[in-house]
Amino acid sequence: MKRRRFFKAMAAAPLAPSLVAQQTAAPSNAPAPTSPAPPPIDATQPPAPLNRAPSAMTAPVRIETAVADEVANMAPRYFTPAQFSALRKLSETIMPPMNGAPGALEAGAPEFLDFLISESPPDRQQLYKVGLDQLNTQAKKRFSKMFADLDSTQTATLLVPLREAWAFDPPTDPLARFLREAKKDVRTATINSREYASAASSGGRRGAGGIGLYWYRLD
Amino acid sequence: MASKEYDVLIIGSGASGGMAAYTLAKKGVKCLLLDAGPQVDFQRNRGTKPVYELPYRGFGKPGRLPHVFQANEFNANQWVDESQVPYTHDPKQPYNWVRVRMIGGKSNFWARMSFRLSDYEFKAKDHDGFGENWPISHADLSPFYDRVEPIFRVSGRKEGLAQLPDGIFVEDKSPDSQASKRIAEAGKPYGMTVTKIRRALGDGSLASSFNLLLPDAVASGNVTVVPNAVVREISVDNKTGLVNGAHFVDRQSGRELHAKARSVVLGASCLESTRILLNSKMANSSGVLGHYLHDQFYMSNSVVALIPEAQNGKSSRGLVGGAGYIPRFRNIKTKEKNFIRGYAFDFSTGGTPDARYFPSWGEELQKDLDNARGAGFGATLMGEVLPRFENHVRIDKNVVDTWGIPVLNFQCKYTDNEFNMAKDAVETLGEICRAAKFEVLHRTDRMFPPGYSIHELGTCRMGDNPRTSVLNKWNQSHDIKNLYVVDGSSFVTGGSQNPTMTILALSMRASEHLAEQLKQREI
Answer for the pair B450, B430: CB distance below 8 angstroms, yes or no: no
What distance in Å separates residue A56's CA from the closest CA in chain B?
A: 26
pLDDT at residue B1, as a whole number: 56
Amino acid at B77: N
Q: Is residue A170 less than 8 Å (CB to CB) from chain B? A: no
Q: How far apart are CA B182 and CA B177, in angstroms?
A: 9
Asked whether A181 and A166 are in contact (CB, 8 A), the reply is no
Closest CA to B485 of B7, B23, B16: B16
With contact defined as beta carbons under 8 Å apart, do B172 and B157 qualify?
Answer: yes
At B308, the amino acid letter reads P
The C-alpha atoms of residue B372 and residue B205 are separated, in whole angstroms, by 31
Contact B48 A15 (CB under 8 A): yes
Angle at B316 between CA B313 and CA B319, to 5 degrees: 120
Residue B261 to residue B247: CA distance in whole angstroms: 11
CA distance B233 to B94: 27
Q: Name, in order, each residue with C-beta under 8 angstroms of A14's C-beta and a sequence gap of 6 or more.
A: A211, B48, B50
Q: Which residues on A lie below 8 Å from B444 (Cβ)?
A: 167-168
Question: Would the CB atoms of A22 and B37 count as touching at under 8 Å?
Answer: no
pLDDT at B469: 98
CB-CB contact of A121 with B62 (8 Å) = yes
Closest approach of A16 to chain B, Cα-based (Å):
8
- Asked if B367 is an interface residue toward chain A (Cβ–Cβ < 8 A), one would say no
Spell out the SS3 assignment of chain A. Answer: CHHHHHHHHHHHHHHHHHHHHHHHCCCCCCCCCCCCCCCCCCCCCCCCCCCCCHHHHHCCCCCCCCCHHHHCCCCCCCCCHHHHHHHHHHHHHHCCCECCECCCCCCCHHHHHHHHHHCCCHHHHHHHHHHHHHHHHHHHHHHCCCHHHCCHHHHHHHCHHHHCCCCCCCCCCHHHHHHHHHHHHHHHHHHCCHHHHHHHHHCCCCCCCCEEEEECCCC
Say if residues A16 and B33 touch (Cβ distance below 8 Å).
Answer: no
Q: What is the pLDDT of residue A8?
A: 40
Q: Give the pLDDT of residue A219.
A: 78
Is the ipTM reported for this complex over the cut 0.85?
Answer: yes
Torsion angle (degrees, nearest 10) of CA B275, B277, B281, B282: -160
Name the residue type at position A22. Answer: Q
Residue A74 DSSP SS3: coil
Q: How far is the CA of B51 from the CAs of A91, A210, B60, in angstroms?
A: 20, 6, 10
Q: Which regions in chain A score pLDDT beneath 70?
A: 1-57, 202-209
Distance from first CA to last CA of chain B, Å, rounded? 27
Task: Break chain A into its structural domains and give their ranges.
Answer: 70-202
pTM attached to this predicted model: 0.90
Cβ-based neighbour number of residue B169 at 10 Å:
17
Alpha-carbon span B326 to B354, nearest angstrom: 23
Q: What is the H or E stretch that residue B171 is in?
A: strand B170-171
- Chain B contact for A23 (CB, 8 A cutoff): no
- Look at residue A37 in the predicted model and tell me its pLDDT: 45
User: Is B520 part of the contact surface with chain A (CB cutoff 8 Å)?
Assistant: no
User: Using the 8-state DSSP alphabet, how is residue A32 labeled?
Assistant: P
The nearest CA of chain B is from the CA of A131 a distance in Å of 17
The CA–CA distances, whole Å, from A182 to A80, B64, B300, B367 equal 17, 21, 22, 19
Please answer whether residues B51 and A192 qualify as being in contact, where contact means their C-beta atoms are separated by less than 8 angstroms. Answer: yes
The A residues from 25 to 84 touching B (CB cutoff 8 Å) are: 25, 27, 67
> Are residues B49 and A211, on separate chains, in Cβ contact within 8 Å?
yes
Nearest by CB: A218 against B38, B58, B446: B38
User: Which strand (E) or helix (H) includes residue B149?
Assistant: helix B138-152
Written as tens digits, the pLDDT of chain B (523 aa) is 567 899 999 999 999 999 999 999 999 999 999 999 999 999 999 999 999 999 999 999 999 999 999 999 999 999 999 999 999 999 999 999 999 999 999 999 999 999 999 999 999 999 999 999 999 999 999 999 999 999 999 999 999 999 999 999 999 999 999 999 999 999 999 999 999 999 999 998 899 999 999 999 999 999 999 999 999 999 999 999 999 999 999 999 999 999 999 999 999 999 999 999 999 999 999 999 999 999 999 999 999 999 999 999 888 888 998 899 999 999 999 899 999 999 999 999 999 999 999 999 999 999 999 999 999 999 999 999 999 999 999 999 999 999 999 999 999 999 999 999 999 999 999 999 999 999 999 999 999 999 999 999 999 999 999 999 999 999 999 999 999 999 999 999 999 999 999 999 999 999 999 999 999 988 8
Count CB-CB contacts under 10 A for residue A75.
Answer: 8
CA distance A124 to chain B (A): 10
